[in-house]
Amino acid sequence: MCVMGGAVVFSGQLLPQLGFPLEFDYVQASRYHEKTEGEQLVWTVEPRDNVRGKTVLLLDDILDEGQTLAAIREKCLAHGAAEVVIAVLVEKELERVKPIQADYVGLSVPNRYVFGCGMDVYGWWRNLPAIYALNVN
């Protein structure tokens, strides 16, 4: 299950590498709303009941503070998922404990705002083929 829109690039690259039959779906929830700091979680597309009794592989672009992923995981379980496994392209290293941990992490980055490879900055640059850090002076 892809977390739109950030995980679309990650999902598109990962899915062809998985050598087993699978169903594909997506959710959409965000706290950032084209800003660089998280706010209240807004759901656009919640998990559907087709997760009932299944193992869900939740794919996201970044594990930052963890609030969005934790909420998505809980919604999947509330819709009857048997298990939720989490894979993220990037995990941000923070000094505090997060409410959720990823089972698989592609890359760990310092506590900077990063974008590219599906991650945006102010709603732009998801299409960049590499990961960049916002230069804040």
pLDDT tens digits, residue range 60-84? 999 999 999 999 999 999 999 999 9
The pLDDT, as a whole number, for residue 33 is: 65
- The helix (run of H) or strand (run of E) holding residue 56 is strand 55-63
64 is catalytic: yes
pLDDT at residue 36, as a whole number: 66
Q: Please give the DSSP secondary-structure letter assigned to residue 16.
A: G
pTM of the model: 0.91
Domain of 28, CATH number, reads 3.40.50.2020
The answer to whether the beta carbons of residues 38 and 73 sit under 8 Å apart is no
SS3 69: helix
CA distances from 131 to 25, 43, 121, 125 (A): 25, 26, 11, 10
| Chain segment 5-56, per-residue pLDDT in tens | 999 999 999 999 999 999 999 999 988 766 666 678 899 999 998 999 999 9
Instruction: Give residue 115's domain range.
Output: 2-133
Task: Quote the CA–CA distance of 71 and 74 in Å, as a whole number.
Answer: 5
pLDDT single digits (tens) 110-136: 999 999 999 999 889 999 999 999 987
Catalytic position from the list 25, 64, 103, 120? 64
Backbone angles phi, psi at 80, to 5 degrees: 100, 10
pLDDT at 137 over 80: no
Domain count, the chain: 1
**What is the pLDDT averaged over residues 103-116?**
96
The closest alpha carbon to 1, from 62, 99, 87, belongs to 87
